[in-house]
Amino acid sequence: MNIKVLGISTSPRPDGNSDSLLRQALAGAESAKALVEYISLIDLKIGPCIECNSCYTTGECRIEDDYQGLLQMMLDADRLIFATPIFFMNVCAQAKALIDRGQCLWAQKYVLKKQLFPGERDRRAMVIAVGGSKSTKMFDCVRLTMKTYFDSLQMHYVCNLFVNKVEDPGRIENHPFAMTEAFRLGSELTAAEAPPPEQPLDVRLT
């Protein structure tokens, strides 16, 4: 049975640096015989959470837009590769809107005490994040945000590809290692058979 890998590009810029790395990671996954699917949030309408708390009762988000379809794709996936540029030391606004809509997942798990799946599934996730800053502290913020999100999705957070000091459009394609590492990590994420690590492993490139 082929592994299903979903790549979500949250960049507001078509063909941005994080988006290019995501496409390479998906190519790596495909080389490992995965069934891959690419989604860009700029093609979807996903509004922010309005904190109505109806999900505390139903476990579902009552806002009707493209979120429900994307959520089902995330639940169907065996692997998730989440790519974001970094704005103000964290994920971009489009990524954060998607993550915040996951309040319904949090409500199912922690308020309603329900599991997303009837049995244990080997679901694993990877993050790609690209920032223009010289500082690497931004990656700590991304890590914490994504850990909480993946916990709600019942996915093991296994690795990161973090790249700093890259900002101009297309610059990532000239990076000596980033594209190669994205391909490698996408392939390894798909083919992994060993138990997932206790903490996500970082690949940090400058």
**Coil, strand, or helix at residue 118?**
coil
pLDDT above 80 (res 148): yes
Nearest to 189 by CA among 12, 52, 27: 27
Structural domain boundaries enclosing 85: 4-205
Q: What is the pLDDT of residue 119?
A: 82
Band of the pLDDT at 132, cuts 50, 70, 90? Answer: very high
- Which residue spans within the chain are E strands per DSSP? 4-9, 35-40, 79-87, 90-91, 124-130, 156-163, 201-205
Nearest to 138 by CA among 127, 150, 154: 127
> Are 189 and 159 contacting, i.e. CB atoms less than 8 angstroms apart?
yes
Condensed to tens digits (0 to 9), the pLDDT of residues 42-62 reads: 999 999 999 999 999 999 999
pLDDT above 90 (res 118): no
Q: Give the chain's domain count.
A: 1
Condensed to tens digits (0 to 9), the pLDDT of residues 92-111 reads: 999 999 999 999 999 999 99
CATH of the domain at 15: 3.40.50.360
CA dihedral 79, 178, 141, 107 (to 10 degrees): -10
Q: What is the pLDDT of residue 33?
A: 95
Q: What is the pLDDT of residue 133?
A: 94
Condensed to tens digits (0 to 9), the pLDDT of residues 76-93 reads: 999 999 999 999 999 999
**Interval 166-195 mean pLDDT:** 93
Q: Rounded CA gap, 150 and 55, in Å?
A: 18
Q: What are all long-range contacts of 106-114, with beta carbons under 8 Å and residues at least 24 apart?
A: 106/152, 107/55, 107/56, 107/59, 108/55, 108/59, 109/151, 109/152, 109/154, 111/56, 112/56, 112/59, 114/59
Q: What's the Cα-to-Cα distance from 199 to each of 38, 143, 185, rounded to whole Å?
A: 26, 10, 16
Q: What does the block give as tokens for 143?
A: 């890590």
Strands 90-91 and 124-130: unpaired
DSSP state of 192: -
Could you give the count of Cα atoms lying within 13 Å of 19 in the half-sphere of its Cβ?
A: 17
